[in-house]
Structure 1
Amino acid sequence: MRFVVATVAAAVVASPAFAAAQPADLLIRHATVIDVAKGRTLTDQAVAVRNGDIVAVGADSSVARRVSAKQTVDATGKFVMPGLWDMHVHFGGGTELIQENKDLLPIYVAYGITSVRDCAGDLSDSVIQWRSEVAAGSLLGPTIYTSGPKLEGYKPLWKGTIEVGTPAEVDAALDRLQSMKVDFVKITDNTLKPEIFEYAVKAAKKRGLKTSAHTPFALTIEQAAKDGLSSVEHLDYLIKAGSPAETSIAADYLAKKLTYGEASDKFVETFDASYAKAEYDRLAKLGLNVTPTLNMSRILAYLDREDHRNDTGLALMGPGLRKTYEWRVERAAKSTPEQVAARHKEYELSVKVLPMLRDAGIPILAGTDAGFLNSFNYPGIGLHDELQRYVEAGLTPREALASATITGPSFLGHSDRYGSLAKGKAADILILDANPLQDIAATRTIRGVVAKGQWFDRAALDRLLESVKAKAATAR
């Protein structure tokens, strides 16, 4: 009899129903969880968070019984998904704008962007410091992945670059970037010699570094991909790749028979869908990714038609950053009617190209190009606009969501921590009022954000935005 009683008692203690509840900082209950990878929803789910990690996900009745949380959020009727990634942002404009750039960080969180990829500017030291502070929890902002200063040729247009013109200088630059613990390497083509571009891509690949680039006109996109280029920034480079005359037009540009703008127009005029389809298939097999920055292209294309003076996002930008917008606006204002028509035509072609890239299997990285210089393309807001452009171009809402939640982490090698709501993943979470799998505009209906495990309800997010507005207004 004593043996039987002891056995029963041991079974009771070991039973999950009687086990000590698992501690959690936050428990989101009765949510509809969005599985972006499979394009499905799971109803009446619970998500438990502790110390910045997801520690349990599953049926509410099961998870709630096993978890004891400090704070509970009732998400009945709401949709819960991973935080968004903006894979192309910029911080810059000179050291006098360091604070204005830093003030942008809470905006990203307020709009549900929990990770960003900084694609170089002239404030790399500050950005790297912010990266550390955000990771440590001492600065509110999205997780930052940065290239540090980009590689360029001698006397480039852009400030804050590392100028290289020889293999030895490339090697030294890569040594410097690795000492800064950059997350990838950015290379642009303003003054960089094509052969040095190729050397830089190959050398970075040998070191295990991802590369992101504007490719030189003298190189085909396919050749850059064969060299090991990881991602092309901006969809217009894929228009170039879709022209059978890519090599000859580039040669005319290098021989100064064509201006940059004229060469770009030629790529649009000679674009061939059948040729492009075959080329995109080859680029996909080579592992090339693309960040379309489609919304930025649209903004610049239609500056002649659209008045941005009353944009909501303007109030969030400091006066110094707003002033950097003038360069592109003034340049666009000087365009001839023919140049304006060419801008429209290029954007209209871009819209057709995007689903071709999808069909070929080229991973699409959602990115905005938001930051200094890039007129009216606002941090935070811009990513929601970008996703809307993707759906307008023919991607499904699920495919658009995947570009902002799955492909970014995959590109940077962090799929183990991001891309879905699962045990062991980072607690970067959005709670939405509507289902973005049905209507991509639902990503804007943010009811709450969990960033690195920290909960912000709608009122807290509104306070973040009001604080940024107040700082911007005071600076003016």
Structure 2
Amino acid sequence: MKITRIALCAAVFLMPYQATARERADVLIRHAAVVDVEHARIIPDQAIAIEGDTIRAVGPDRSLARKFAAPRTIDAAGKFVMPGLWDMHVHFGGEELIGENKALLPLYVAFGVTTVRDCAEDISASVLEWRSGVAEGRLLGPTIYTSGPKLEGYKPIWKGTIEVGTPAEVDAALDRLQAMKVDFVKITDNTLKPEIFLYAVKAAKSRGLKTSAHTPYALTIEQAATAGLNSVEHLDYLIKAGSPQEASIGADFAAKKLNYGEASDKFVETFDPNYAVEEYRRLAALGVYVTPTLNMSRILAYLDREDHSGDAALAYVGPGLRKTYQWRVERAAKATSAQVEARHREYELSLKVLPMLRDAGIPILAGTDAGYLNSFNYPGEGLHEELERYVEAGLTPQQALVTATITGPAFLGHSDRYGGLADGKAADILVLDANPLNDVKATRAIRGVMLHGQWLDRAALDKLLADAKATAAR
């Protein structure tokens, strides 16, 4: 009897000790099927312990549930858990549309996009403030990486650029961008001299800045890559690189013997798959990434046959931003039948080029071009459409997912923090109803989003959508 009392007392004494011996976490996701995107596998019945905005541990549910105690538990039984999605090419813009642009931030989150790369705009001060607001938890939205204003030549068609025409002006522009603490430098080719383009790429590289660009037609893509260009925006520039006549067509363009449309058609007509394979391997060896924006290309290619006026996603976009879509629609309507057919041919060739880039080893960045000016390419939803285009072109669902979860962090130098579900990684997580490795469309079936450690269930995501619709209507 005395031994029994001693044992009972010891048990009572040890109970609180055993409870406090468990490590503390803020959130515990249990019984999840973890999507290991990198290795194309599903790891069943896993638990994820989260503290603040960081993953503390990932492992078998049975062991982690014993190790960690958390005030909030999310039952993910029957669900699939993967890293949040990255859209590596978005745009904000329009000085009079700052409010409408800001309203897009929660919309990205509602569609599972937890990080965006803003590829230049004319409202840099606002975007930089939003970047800080999101990072500090004052604003609900995806993590933002931004180029700030892009570098261009004198009197370009694009607003909000830094106009440069001499090396000294490039140096001053880079000083300004570094003072703004931009995440990379965007360079475009509307009026920029080819030699100044190359100087800008080299100067940015010497300062340790990543560069992203539309390359001048007068230069080959290999020339730009050799100078140190990190990312080519839009797949049509890789079609250009696949033409053995790239340099001569570019010279004719520079001599004003060809306009943009004519030069682009020539690149398509002279594209040589055998030559392209070798050129893409050379570009891969130079470390170039590409952001295809394939869905944007498809939308523009088929404006002659697809009416987007009834798109449900239009309801989430403010009237001012919707109005900026009209210029592309009007321009497409003026195209001749030959020009329309040329658009179709270029897009159809793009579908063939994408798997060639993959096979050559060029890292692909999933990006949409969504937002300001770019017709019917919707923030948030557009990334899902982009991934679906990749699979249509021949990538596997896993390869498509890599472009939206792994290559973005790698490009920006943040693979230590993003790109998977592991100890020390960011707690930006999607909980899905279906397996995206089987069907990439499963990325649309979002049951919940963990954003910077904040849990948003399906009801919360639906409210974000409803709020976006109400805001756009106002």
* Common topology (TM > 0.5): yes
Quote the Cα distance in structure 1 between the aligned partners of 2:419 and 2:168. 39
Quote the Cα distance in structure 1 between the aligned partners of 2:200 and 2:230. 12
Aligned residue number for residue 91 of structure 2 = 90
Matched position secondary structure for 1:297:
helix
Aligned-partner residue type, residue 351 of structure 2: V
1:173 counterpart = 2:173: yes
Aligned residue number for residue 4 of structure 1 = none
Quote the Cα distance in structure 2 between the aligned partners of 1:417 and 1:70. 25
Quote the Cα distance in structure 2 between the aligned partners of 1:17 and 1:396. 47
Deviation of 1:223 (Å): 0.5
Aligned-partner residue type, residue 196 of structure 2: I
Quote the Cα distance in structure 1 between the aligned partners of 2:406 and 2:20. 36
Aligned residue number for residue 20 of structure 1 = 21
Matched position secondary structure for 1:257:
coil
1:380 counterpart = 2:368: no
Aligned residue number for residue 453 of structure 1 = 453
Deviation of 1:18 (Å): 6.8
Aligned residue number for residue 7 of structure 2 = none
Aligned-partner residue type, residue 405 of structure 1: T
Aligned residue number for residue 344 of structure 2 = 344
Matched position secondary structure for 1:57:
strand
Deviations 1:11-61 (A, max 9, x none): x99xx9776222222111000001111000100001111111001110001
Deviations 1:429-465 (A, max 9, x none): 0000000001001000000000000000001000001
1:220 counterpart = 2:220: yes
Q: How does 1:44-443 map to 2 (within 5 A)?
A: 44-93=45-94, 95-443=95-443
Quote the Cα distance in structure 2 between the aligned partners of 1:91 and 1:412. 20
Quote the Cα distance in structure 2 between the aligned partners of 1:66 and 1:303. 56
Matched position secondary structure for 2:81:
strand
Matched position secondary structure for 1:345:
helix
Deviation of 1:68 (Å): 1.2
Quote the Cα distance in structure 1 between the aligned partners of 2:254 and 2:175. 31
Quote the Cα distance in structure 2 between the aligned partners of 1:289 and 1:78. 33
- The alignment covers a number of residue pairs equal to 462
Deviations 1:54-94 (A, max 9, x none): 0111000111111111111110100000000000000002x
Matched position secondary structure for 2:39:
coil
Aligned-partner residue type, residue 68 of structure 1: A
Quote the Cα distance in structure 1 between the aligned partners of 2:458 and 2:240. 44
Deviation of 1:402 (Å): 0.3
Quote the Cα distance in structure 2 between the aligned partners of 1:329 and 1:23. 55
Deviations 1:270-293 (A, max 9, x none): 000000000000000000000000
Matched position secondary structure for 2:140:
coil
Aligned residue number for residue 3 of structure 1 = none
Matched position secondary structure for 1:149:
coil
Aligned-partner residue type, residue 63 of structure 2: S
Runs of 4+ in 1 over 2 A off after TM superposition: 16-19
Matched position secondary structure for 1:134:
helix
Aligned-partner residue type, residue 258 of structure 2: L
Per the normalisation by structure 2, the TM-score is 0.96
Matched position secondary structure for 2:455:
strand
Aligned-partner residue type, residue 36 of structure 2: D
Quote the Cα distance in structure 1 between the aligned partners of 2:257 and 2:418. 48
Quote the Cα distance in structure 2 between the aligned partners of 1:219 and 1:257. 16
Quote the Cα distance in structure 2 between the aligned partners of 1:362 and 1:443. 24
Quote the Cα distance in structure 1 between the aligned partners of 2:279 and 2:269. 17
Matched position secondary structure for 1:77:
coil
Aligned residue number for residue 40 of structure 2 = 39
Matched position secondary structure for 1:373:
coil
Matched position secondary structure for 2:370:
coil
Matched position secondary structure for 1:304:
coil
Quote the Cα distance in structure 1 between the aligned partners of 2:460 and 2:23. 27
Quote the Cα distance in structure 1 between the aligned partners of 2:114 and 2:18. 36
Quote the Cα distance in structure 2 between the aligned partners of 1:202 and 1:258. 28
Aligned-partner residue type, residue 352 of structure 2: K
Quote the Cα distance in structure 2 between the aligned partners of 1:438 and 1:469. 32
Deviations 1:386-411 (A, max 9, x none): 00000000001110000000000000
Quote the Cα distance in structure 2 between the aligned partners of 1:254 and 1:194. 9
Matched position secondary structure for 1:222:
helix
Aligned-partner residue type, residue 131 of structure 2: R
Aligned residue number for residue 6 of structure 1 = none
Quote the Cα distance in structure 2 between the aligned partners of 1:292 and 1:18. 52
Aligned-partner residue type, residue 91 of structure 2: H
Aligned-partner residue type, residue 47 of structure 2: A
Quote the Cα distance in structure 2 between the aligned partners of 1:339 and 1:444. 34
Quote the Cα distance in structure 1 between the aligned partners of 2:268 and 2:121. 29
Quote the Cα distance in structure 2 between the aligned partners of 1:436 and 1:457. 19
Aligned residue number for residue 31 of structure 2 = 30
CA RMSD of aligned residues (A): 1.4
Quote the Cα distance in structure 2 between the aligned partners of 1:210 and 1:241. 21
Quote the Cα distance in structure 2 between the aligned partners of 1:74 and 1:459. 16
Aligned-partner residue type, residue 154 of structure 1: Y
Deviations 1:209-267 (A, max 9, x none): 00000000110000000000000000000000000010111111122211110110010
